[in-house]
Amino acid sequence: MKKLLLATSFIAASTGFAAAEVAVSGYGRFGLVYNENTAAGFNDTIISSRLRINIDGKTTTDGGVELGARLRMQYEDGDENTAGNAAKFYGSYNGLRVEVGNVETAFDSAALIYDSEMGFEDSSFGDPQGTFYAYDSNTYGAGNGNRTGLAVSYSAGAFSGMISYVTPDQVTSGSTEETAINLAYASGPFAVSAAAYQNGAGVDGNDGFFVGGAYTMNEVTTIGLNYMDEDAAGGSQITLYGNHTMGATTLRAYVSDLDVTGLDTAYGIGADYDLGGGARVSGAIESDFVGDMSANLGLRFNF
């Protein structure tokens, strides 16, 4: 995500610190969402919106180690109020990054895994269908008040990798911890990625893995193929996706097959129009694994 320093930059004159700063970034989005098959008593078309604000503070020591933390405020249509989330702390040096708290997780952070997404809500039925931990944008749910995690990532040239550990309750004994790993390589037009998790979302025996590859032609057309096998999804999933950019317009499409008896092949087509300044108009038409249609059209802008 593009980040723009908006609010404050403090230069510390005291010894032990080279520089400290606080930055505010985020995005807003709003638009129309249509769902063909809604529950009785619910409208099939609604106005969907989200406002996300990240508050990042960081400092750099005399030895070149960057130390920082993040809090997030988020409002989504249907929420009763705007809530902050659990904090994430990190330290980084020469490509090595260590996170503690409400951490980014290795499976959710895997390269290519969400590249079939489209529309102003950035969603896709080609996304993983299983259950696993991710950085939580909201307050933790019931029973997760003592959740915490540890994540270590490293990048060097075309290679990157990450491992993560999350326990839903670090205070009470007997909790089931999730562990995950990802590896990626990207050079020129080629990119490959792999990831796996064990005991996803703290559920014993809930495991999954992912492998994906993508090729970009002439810097304007990308074709990608993802394969996932997740216990909670009930079967393996294959997603083929592509996008093509013409000036300010990017066209997108995907098909995804989940190998579960009785389910159809999901698909989607969409388009973005770049307005400049981190803003775009995006829309999509999709069909899910049971054949129900949905569509969305809206505006998203970063700040």
Q: Tens digit of pLDDT for each residue in 30-84?
A: 999 999 988 777 899 999 999 999 999 999 999 999 999 999 999 999 888 898 9
**pLDDT for residue 218 is more than 70:** yes
Name the residue range of residue 143's domain.
8-302
Q: Is 273 exposed, middle or buried (0-12, 13-18, 19+ CB in 10 A)?
A: middle
Query: How many domains does the chain contain in total?
Result: 1
Residue 2 located in a structural domain: no
**pLDDT for residue 192 is more than 90:** yes
pTM comes to 0.91
**pLDDT for residue 191 is more than 70:** yes
Q: Tens digit of pLDDT for each residue in 245-301?
A: 999 999 999 999 999 999 999 999 999 999 999 999 999 999 999 999 999 999 999
Q: What is the pLDDT of residue 41?
A: 78
For the residues 209-230, what does the mean pLDDT come to? 97
**What's the mean pLDDT when you consider all of the chain?**
93
Residue 67 located in a structural domain: yes
Q: What is the pLDDT of residue 42?
A: 86
Q: The CATH number of the domain where 39 resides is what?
A: 2.40.160.10
Q: Tens digit of pLDDT for each residue in 136-155?
A: 998 887 777 799 999 999 99
Q: What is the pLDDT of residue 58?
A: 97
Q: What is the pLDDT of residue 101?
A: 98
